[in-house]
Chain A
Amino acid sequence: MKFGILVNEGPYTHQASDSAYHFTAAALRAGHEIVRVFFYHDGVNNGTRLSVPPQDDRNISERWSALAEAHEVELILCVAAAQRRGLLDGDEAKLAGKDSDNMAPGFQISGLGQLIDAGIQADRLIVFGD
């Protein structure tokens, strides 16, 4: 089956991003296809490479990056939601005159159209949120 995944909550604050990760990893292990993982609302905070969680805790953004590398999963942050919350890739940072970007490997910034497209392409769009 083809799944689209929507993550609407930030890491550590809320279970949603953990559940989305575990669902996505399990679906891939079971041989399903992940059309795209789309991060919206505070979910965009999953894509920062500057998070430094305690060593005895999971590293949520690194976990997503590893999944993207192993399975070529598309991880997309909504551009409008990301800009509001200070999640910037190199181009965005340059454009906005900021001194740094903070995107974790494997994440990309794109528009909300990618969410709608995931809904159209996928057999099921699964929403993880509050």
Chain B
Amino acid sequence: MATKKFLYVNRKAPHGSIYALESLEVVLIAAAFEQDVSLAFVDDGVYQLLQNQDTGKLGSKNFSPTYKALGDYDVSKIYVDQESLEQRGLNKQDLMPLVYEDEDDDWAEKDSIHVVSSTELAEIIEQQDVILNF
């Protein structure tokens, strides 16, 4: 099967609409297809990766722990737009630590999250074959 570069662009807040949850479901299913997968978080999408989310009072499912499993699904390229973080008074320390084990480096645990500028993100987008916006 052909391998393509897939980028999932997450633009919406994690709760209040279903886009974030259903985007994550696509990413997990897609892992079985062994494509070259990257995730981008921009605009309110950066809130999807916030630590200590609690949806108890919303009565909706808190699916945020699932992001921590992405490393096990070989999803290790997670790009977060720096400008979107800054606009919301956030920095990388506010985000969940997401890691993967690098098979080319004796399974060393490495950081999956890369905070990138809009220019760098534009370059990443330019390199993709398939872009899915959620």
Contact = CB atoms under 8 A, between A and B. Distances in A.
B6 interface: yes
Contacts of A116: 6, 26, 29-30, 33, 35
B18 interface: yes
Contacts of B132: 6, 119, 125, 127
Contacts of B33: 113, 116-117, 120
Nearest to A121: B2
A81 B29 contact: no
Interface in B97-131: 129-131
Nearest to A6: B132
Nearest to B2: A120
B2 to A, nearest CB: 6
Given A127-B133, A129-B133, A120 B4 contact: yes
Interface string A26-37: 000000000000
Contact of B29 (A8, A112, A120): A112
Contacts of A120: 1-2, 4, 33, 35, 130
A113 B32 CA distance: 9
A119 B22 contact: no
Interface residues of A, number: 17
A15 B26 CA distance: 23
B2 A41 contact: no
A40 B88 CA distance: 29
Contacts of B6: 116, 119
Nearest to B37: A116
B1 A112 contact: no
Contacts of A125: 130-132
B68 to A, nearest CB: 21
A119 B4 contact: yes
Interface string B1-21: 110101000000000001100
Interface string B85-100: 0000000000000000
A80 B133 CA distance: 19
Interface of A: 6, 8, 40-41, 80-81, 111-113, 115-117, 119-120, 125, 127, 129
Q: Please list the 10 inter-chain residue pairs (A to B) with the smallest Cβ-Cβ separation, ordered nearest first.
A: A119-B130, A112-B29, A116-B30, A116-B33, A125-B130, A127-B133, A112-B26, A41-B22, A120-B2, A120-B4
